[in-house]
Chain A
């Protein structure tokens, strides 16, 4: 028990603690308020500027010749979807397998090296990744292509997906793996077909966040997928994408293009927000009893 003569000291400390607590709490609340405010401000402004550009033609028409008002960004939306689809096709399995390797086999020196490289890769500026895809695909193929853009985005997705897969697998207790091994199932099958299948929603979350992030990237596409005024489905040809189209329109001197750039920005922001929300909603808490 507290003896009497200490009480005044302790009370003074209490008051001081309460005050510093209040200050810390207030600062944190203010700063997070600013962050949330910024988010709403950005979204509100994009909505305000972009909404007038949104109409049916915006989604189904391609750009009109310079000087003509109207037209739409169908080429860029289709292009973005194609690039993202192809990037996912490459980046998702690659990222998941890297994550599996890191968690299950990556204990030795090679594992540490892969982990280090993967971490480094996630901090490489995206323009450099674009350069890499340019050197790897555009130069030998002698022309820009959707494929080159997809490879660049896939490279950007790999570290995110690998990391989230590895973290998920590290949470899976070893006795689950042993249960699979004891059934006479090879380790890689236990991981891919039992453990990952049982945790599909968590994997999906990492994947969607990676796609959301990749979908807004402009720099890696500038000299890989380039751009195109026409609606194109071909992966071996230059193709439009929303970020590059927004960039092109935004720096052009025409009011109608500025309007469309805001419209494109709105479509992109809504797409990315939806993916993020979707990613969140699939992490539903599972009922588990031990």
Chain B
């Protein structure tokens, strides 16, 4: 893997909520077309960290971040960079499925493109279909594209959100515990989906579920109290962790 260039390189990333130092000097990189899992106990800064990768963190009042995050050779924290444009390249799926209320399934998926000024109906239809197929939802919704997105089940809503993120074809997708609110069957569907997503994008996923991390990721990073304790190949982290803390966590001694 050493000769592959990372698609996202993070150097010395810090994040604060006011005075609270939530993410402390993280340096890590992410390889293209892989799944990287971020694990660690609640409150250790995983969400804050990935929200820095699309500059969503700074939308919270009083929140700030510093450091370098290089995506496809551009530092997204560089001077004069427009966070809005960054977010088009880095999609995000949240813990709680959040389709836009009042918008149909079709409109939900098309929202990103439509608001970027793309109007051509045939193109939109094409993208909506491909995105829903990419999110393994097409067969379930193809006959009811004009029903509200919120009328779907929880697992379907989360896949709708994945489709919505895919529609703008981001090279990187961030997922913050995307299955933690779902039943096992929906979870299995989304895990399967993530393995196929790798072919078109790079996935960075926060998960509470260690088995999930082991099943779907190539590399795993372990966070604790805002710091990254260990980062390596998933098999290595789970079988022969280098750090005592990692071992304690994965064997269930805390967290």
9-residue interface stretch from B4-12, B32-40, B108-116, B205-213: B108-116
Q: Contact: B98 with A183, CB < 8 Å?
A: no
Q: Contact: A286 with B101, CB < 8 Å?
A: yes
- Does B196 interact with chain A (Cβ within 8 Å)? no
Do A198 and B101 form a contact, CB below 8 Å, given A182-B92, A183-B88, A184-B85? yes
CA distance A82 to B53 in the complex (A): 53
A171 CB to nearest chain B CB (Å): 10
Do A194 and B103 form a contact, CB below 8 Å, given A179-B98, A183-B168, A185-B112? yes
Do A197 and B115 form a contact, CB below 8 Å, given A183-B168, A289-B152? no
Interface residues as binary, A172-194 with B (CB distance below 8 Å gives 1, 0 otherwise)? 11011011111111110100011
With both beta carbons as reference points, the residue of chain B lying nearest to A201 in the complex is identified as B102
Point out the residue from A178, A184, A287, A290 that lies within 8 Å of B112, measured CB to CB.
A184
Q: Contact: A181 with B100, CB < 8 Å?
A: no
CA distance A211 to B172 in the complex (A): 48
- Does B150 interact with chain A (Cβ within 8 Å)? yes
Interface residues as binary, A9-41 with B (CB distance below 8 Å gives 1, 0 otherwise)? 000000000000000000000000000000000
CA distance A222 to B153 in the complex (A): 57
Q: Contact: A182 with B87, CB < 8 Å?
A: yes
Interface residues as binary, B192-203 with A (CB distance below 8 Å gives 1, 0 otherwise)? 000000000000
With both beta carbons as reference points, the residue of chain B lying nearest to A182 in the complex is identified as B92
Q: Contact: A198 with B100, CB < 8 Å?
A: yes
Q: Contact: A287 with B84, CB < 8 Å?
A: no
A290 / chain B contacts, CB cutoff of 8 Å: 154
With both beta carbons as reference points, the residue of chain A lying nearest to B54 in the complex is identified as A182
List the count of A-B residue pairs having beta carbons below 8 Å apart.
Answer: 90
CA distance A204 to B151 in the complex (A): 23
Q: Contact: A182 with B91, CB < 8 Å?
A: yes
- Does B148 interact with chain A (Cβ within 8 Å)? yes
Q: Contact: B100 with A189, CB < 8 Å?
A: no
A222 CB to nearest chain B CB (Å): 41
- Does A199 interact with chain B (Cβ within 8 Å)? yes
B88 / chain A contacts, CB cutoff of 8 Å: 183-184
Q: Contact: B96 with A194, CB < 8 Å?
A: no
Q: Contact: B115 with A185, CB < 8 Å?
A: yes
A105 CB to nearest chain B CB (Å): 11
Chain A contact residue count (CB 8 A cutoff): 28
Do A183 and B115 form a contact, CB below 8 Å, given A198-B101, A198-B102? yes
Q: Contact: B115 with A189, CB < 8 Å?
A: yes
- Does B94 interact with chain A (Cβ within 8 Å)? yes
Interface residues as binary, B78-122 with A (CB distance below 8 Å gives 1, 0 otherwise)? 000000111111011010101111110000000110011000000
Do A179 and B103 form a contact, CB below 8 Å, given A289-B150, A289-B154, A290-B154? no
A286 / chain B contacts, CB cutoff of 8 Å: 101-102, 148, 150
B101 / chain A contacts, CB cutoff of 8 Å: 172, 176, 198-199, 286, 288
CA distance A107 to B115 in the complex (A): 26
B94 / chain A contacts, CB cutoff of 8 Å: 175, 178-179, 182
B116 / chain A contacts, CB cutoff of 8 Å: 184-185
Point out the residue from B61, B84, B115, B161 that lies within 8 Å of A193, measured CB to CB.
B115
B168 / chain A contacts, CB cutoff of 8 Å: 183-184
- Does B132 interact with chain A (Cβ within 8 Å)? no
CA distance A182 to B53 in the complex (A): 11
B32 CB to nearest chain A CB (Å): 20
B23 / chain A contacts, CB cutoff of 8 Å: none
- Does B221 interact with chain A (Cβ within 8 Å)? no
Point out the residue from B61, B153, B161 that lies within 8 Å of A179, measured CB to CB.
B161
Do A183 and B148 form a contact, CB below 8 Å, given A198-B100, A286-B102? no
Q: Please name 17 further chain A to chain B contacts, defined as beta carbons within 8 Å, in addition to the given A183-B168, A288-B101, sorted by A numbering.
A: A179-B94, A180-B111, A181-B56, A182-B91, A183-B88, A183-B164, A184-B85, A184-B88, A186-B84, A189-B115, A194-B100, A200-B102, A286-B101, A286-B148, A286-B150, A289-B154, A290-B154
10 A-B pairs with the lowest CB-CB distances in the bound complex, closest first: A198-B102, A184-B88, A182-B92, A184-B87, A183-B112, A179-B98, A175-B98, A185-B115, A288-B150, A198-B101
